[in-house]
């Protein structure tokens, strides 16, 4: 028998994958190349708020500068 917590994690992962799959190809590529972990739902929410796609791509692929 599968635990409810496992089922919730699995459903969340599927939802994130579905969002990732519907994003435009340049954004998917930027998410994959990002130096840190980025959730597709966060990128999608930014798009819904009106953040331009190019700004998101630049932000996602920007390398962090070490001090």
Report pLDDT for 67. 47
- Burial of 3-42, coded b for 16+ CB within 10 Å and e otherwise, reads eeeeeeeeeeeeeeeebbeebeeebeebbeebeeebebee
Please identify every stretch of the chain with a pLDDT value under 70, giving residue numbers as ranges.
1, 64-67
Report pLDDT for 63. 73
CA distance 21 to 5: 24
Contact 41, 15 (CB under 8 A): yes
CA distance 34 to 59: 9
């Amino acid at each position: 028998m599968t635990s409810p917590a496992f089922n919730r994690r699995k459903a969340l992962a599927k939802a994130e994958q579905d969002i990732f799959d519907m994003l435009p190809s340049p954004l998917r590529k930027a998410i994959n190349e990002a130096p840190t972990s980025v959730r597709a739902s966060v990128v999608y929410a930014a798009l819904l708020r009106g953040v331009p796609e190019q700004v998101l791509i630049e932000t996602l692929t920007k390398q962090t500068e070490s001090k």
